[in-house]
A and B are shown apart, each in its own frame.
Chain A
Amino acid sequence: MVEANSDSPDKIKDPLEIPKLICGAMADIRPYPAHPQHNTDLGFPPELIDNWKEVAIAKIGELAEKNRAFKLYLDICVKCGACTDKCHYFLGTGDPKNMPVARQDLLRSVYRRYYTFAGKYFPWLVGARDLTKEILEEWYSYYHQCSQCRRCSVFCPYGIDTAEISMAAREILDSIGMGQKYCNEIIAKAEKLGNNLGLSPKALKATLEDLEEELEDDTGHKIRLPLDEKGADILLITPSADFFAEPHIDGLLGYAKVFYKAGISWTMSSYASEAANFGMFIGSYENMRALALRIRKAAIDLGVKRIIFGECGHAWRVAYSFLNTLAGPFDFLDQNYPIPQHIVEFTYDLIQKGKIKFDKSKNDEYRVTFHDSCNVARGSNMGTIPGGQFEYPRAVLKACCNHYYDMDRDTIMESTLCCGGGGGLLTDELMDLRTKGASPRMSALQQASEDYGVTHMAAICAICKTQFSKIMPKFGYGMDKILSVHQLVSNAIILDDEPSEKNNGQNKQTTKGTKQNGAKLANKDDKEAS
């Protein structure tokens, strides 16, 4: 596993097998630094400032005072070791600094030195360290080897969330001019143009028109992909990868078919043409807010009643957990619907109500499993039942596929393994880390392939989809073995009866789903389905 590479992917039996320790194995891995312009665009110093030490130490103090969780996490760890083997990057690299507790300690040791009594007077007794340039470099390297997936926090008896610490560390690094290129360039672009790709309204319109043509050619139905249409009921906010990459686009076509069959008017926005909010990756409230406010403005300008998010993992975390505090109140939206709502929840409700039906045989070539995306699994929920974020996507998949199987229980749902590319690490120079970090997930998939003949994996996150399409070939799967959930919906949805009436208020998506409802959706005849 440690040596997974394109030539000889080591097939491992247990995805959670603890590797042999290799000290410093990943010490030289680091993403490209942001260009000065990327930093200044976001209000950070262009490059490392002269008084970095004072500023960084002050920033730690400021964060500890402002963010109670951060301070608690730094203070409370008892070194029990429960987290040590829970990080996919540790499992994949064997580098002990990728153990969550060790990753936290890179910052905790400095915090102790300057902000605790013991650390100030007896640093050698409590592992407190002076802040040095070497430590900065270590932070830059190892805090960019955390995808902020929060798997470790599930197993920590105190609930210490390494994601919070790694976000804070990146915030500290940004504050002294040590930003990361991938995140900062993208945030600046999204704040300027409305999406991470840099699509202008003209380019977006042309892409959507092209796809509408394709939809009509394929189905014979005039299925729309509306843009900037005032007065639509629903504003769809989806990752810009859905306009560009494979298999993301097939998911977008799936949403369009669902809206079409539901007979509900919807639109996308060229002003807020991005669901992803990279502000979270760098722990920057200001940048996260700037991006969230675009969504609010688009919703007001277009006069919509509802906001629905497409398949995007951490977008959903930001939307579900923070949208209201970042950009609320959303009192101008229809309060009868969840604000915001996830597209999977929307589709799930339509299935429940019998408003969309499937010809499951259309997906018979796929034996499907579901990869729970980390930020959906551990940072949010869907609908009104606990665990809805696990239940709903599975229910949708089972409704449109005859062959659905779960991977090992210890690697899914709240224990899901990250794809290896989340948290701002989906950049080519980190490919080695991404491959190694994906290896536990790939092992779990290989197990499912062996046990149940699983051929494809579906996901609801743009990062997961891109990451897997790049990584899967290194583990013996074609790049097209990763699918969008709504791609499978799109394949099997039956379009050929009259579209239902325009929303008359009776088909409200009130998310009254229950466990029984979810189970009912599962294909009872398919005994293999788990």
Chain B
Amino acid sequence: MAYEVNGNIVEHDEEGYIINLSDWSKELAEVIAKSEEIEMTDEHWAVVNFLRDYYEEYQIAPAVRVLIKAIKKELGPEVGNNKYMYELFPYGPAKQACKIAGLPKPTGCV
């Protein structure tokens, strides 16, 4: 179970989350997104970048609501809303976007 980026092998778990978070790169994000059938746009990147910044600060992904608020501030209410987030990441802005951002999957009753 691994992604291949420029000839390098990056291991992931059963669900596609990378094992070593330090393996992440923008190229890898594109590869993961592709395997999720997502074409990365600037809006996708805004979400991924916010998640990574937040993770660096707090070692966890933010609540969806916190994410949406931040994106709303950055890109306006047309992008920063729940519905649009699910259009960007059909399997959920938390789980799917975390996977692309190279972060661990949120666990629990979520």
Contact of B109 with A426 in the complex, beta carbons under 8 Å: yes
Q: Which A residues are CB-close (under 8 A) to B59?
A: 198, 200, 203
Q: A465–B66 Cα gap in the complex (Å)?
A: 19
Residues of B within 8 A of A207 (CB): 62-63, 66
Q: Kindly state whether residue B15 has any CB partner on chain A within 8 Å.
A: yes
Residue of chain B at shortest CB distance from A198: B60
Cβ-defined partner of B15 (8 Å) among A189, A197, A210, A429: A429
Interface string of B9-33 (1 = CB under 8 A from A): 0000011000000000000000000
| Chain B, residue nearest A275 (CB) | B109
- Chain A positions 235 through 249: 1 when the CB is less than 8 Å from some CB of chain B, otherwise 0: 000011101111011
Cα distance, A274 to B58, chains bound together (Å): 18
Instruction: State how many angstroms separate the Cβ of B1 from the closest Cβ of chain A.
Output: 12
Tell which of A196, A198, A199 touches B109, judged by Cβ atoms closer than 8 Å.
A196
CA distance A332 to B28 in the complex (A): 54
- Closest residue of chain B to A249, judged by CB? B65
| B-chain residues with CB within 8 Å of residue A200 when the two chains form the complex | 58-60
Per-residue interface assignment for chain A, residues 185 to 214, with 1 indicating a CB less than 8 Å from any chain B CB and 0 otherwise? 110010000011111101100110011001
- Interface of chain A, main secondary structure: helix
Residues on A with beta carbons closer than 8 Å to the beta carbon of B110: 197, 241, 244-245, 248, 462, 466
Query: Total number of A-B contacts with CB less than 8 angstroms?
Result: 83
A285 interface residue (CB < 8 Å to B)? no
Q: Mark B23-65, 1 if CB is under 8 A from A, else 0.
A: 0000000000000000000000000000000000011101111
Residue-by-residue, is A261-278 near B (CB-CB < 8 Å gives 1, otherwise 0)?
A: 000000000000010100
Query: Does the CB pair B108–A246 fall under 8 Å?
Result: no
A245 touches B64 (CB 8 A): yes
Closest B residue by C-beta to A32: B14
A364 at the interface (CB under 8 A from B): no
* CA–CA, A248 and B108, complex, Å: 13
Complex contact B58–A197 (CB within 8 A): no
CB pair B107–A243 under 8 Å, yes or no, is: no
CB contacts (< 8 Å) of A32 on chain B: these are 14-15
Contact B108 A276 (CB under 8 A): yes
Residues of chain A contacted by B14 (CB below 8 angstroms): 32, 181, 429
Tell me if B108 and A197 are in contact (CB < 8 A).
yes
For the complex, is A65 an interface residue (Cβ under 8 Å from B)?
A: no
Q: Output the least CB separation between B84 and chain A (Å).
A: 14
The distance in angstroms between the C-alpha atoms of A211 and B62, with both chains bound, is 12
Query: Quick check: is A428 within 8 A (CB to CB) of the other chain?
Result: yes
| Inter-chain contact B108/A210, CB cutoff 8 Å | no
The answer to whether B58 and A186 have CB atoms under 8 Å apart is no
Task: Quote the shortest CB–CB distance from B85 to chain A (angstroms).
Answer: 11
A244/B107 contact (C-beta < 8 A), A200-B58, A429-B15 known? no
- A206:B58 contact, CB within 8 angstroms: yes
| B residues in contact with A407, CB < 8 Å | none
- Cβ proximity bits A368-379 to B, threshold 8 Å, 1 near / 0 not: 000000000000
Question: Are A463 and B60 touching (Cβ within 8 A)?
Answer: no
In the assembled complex, the Cα of A249 lies from the Cα of B58 at a distance in Å of: 19
Give the Cβ gap from A272 to chain B, nearest Cβ, in Å.
Answer: 15
> Which residue of A has the minimal Cβ distance to B70?
A210
In the complex, what distance in Å separates the CA atom of A199 from the CA atom of B63? Answer: 10
List A contacts of B66 (CB < 8 A).
207, 210
Query: Judging by beta carbons under 8 Å apart, are B60 and A246 in contact?
Result: no
CB <8 Å contact, B109 and A463:
yes
Q: Which of A470-526 contact B (CB under 8 A)?
A: 479-480
| Cβ-defined contact, B58 with A244, below 8 A | no
- Give the nearest-CB partner of B108 in chain A: A196
A203 near B108: Cβ-Cβ < 8 Å:
no
Q: What does the 1/0 interface line of A155-186 toward B look like (CB < 8 Å)?
A: 00000000000000000000000000110011
> Which of B59, B95, B109 has the most chain A CB atoms closer than 10 A to its own CB?
B109
CB contact under 8 A between A245 and B107, given known A32-B14, A210-B69: no
Judge whether A195 and B60 touch: CB under 8 Å. no
B60 touches A199 (CB 8 A): yes
B3 to chain A, nearest CB (A): 19
CA distance A198 to B58 in the complex (A): 10
Q: How far is the CA of A208 from the CA of B107 in the complex (A)?
A: 19
Cβ contact within 8 Å between A185 and B60: no
B106 at the A interface (CB under 8 A): yes
State how many angstroms separate the Cβ of B96 from the closest Cβ of chain A.
Answer: 10
Which residue of B is nearest A428, CB measured? B15
Chain A minimum-CB-distance residue to B59: A200
Whether the Cβ atoms of B60 and A249 lie closer than 8 Å is no
The answer to whether residues A203 and B65 also contact, given A196-B107, A244-B106, A276-B109 and a CB cut-off of 8 A, is no
Residues of B within 8 A of A248 (CB): 110
Please indicate which of the listed interface residues B14, B66, B107 has the most CB atoms of chain A within 10 Å of its own CB.
B107
Contact in complex: A245, B60 (CB < 8 Å): no
Contacts of B63 in A (CB 8 A): 207, 243-245, 249
Chain A residues within 8 Å of B107, by CB: 182, 185-186, 189, 196-198
- Give A residues with C-beta under 8 Å from B: 32, 181-182, 185-186, 189, 195-200, 202-203, 206-207, 210-211, 214, 239-241, 243-246, 248-249, 274, 276, 312, 426, 428-429, 462-463, 465-466, 479-480
Can you give 14 A-B contacts (C-beta < 8 A)? Answer: A186-B108, A196-B107, A196-B109, A198-B59, A198-B104, A200-B60, A207-B62, A241-B110, A243-B63, A244-B63, A244-B108, A245-B64, A428-B95, A466-B109
**Given A32-B15, A197-B107, 5 other A-B contacts at CB below 8 A?**
A244-B106, A246-B82, A249-B65, A274-B108, A462-B108
- 8 closest A-B pairs by beta carbon, nearest first, are A196-B108, A462-B109, A203-B58, A241-B109, A245-B110, A244-B63, A197-B108, A463-B109
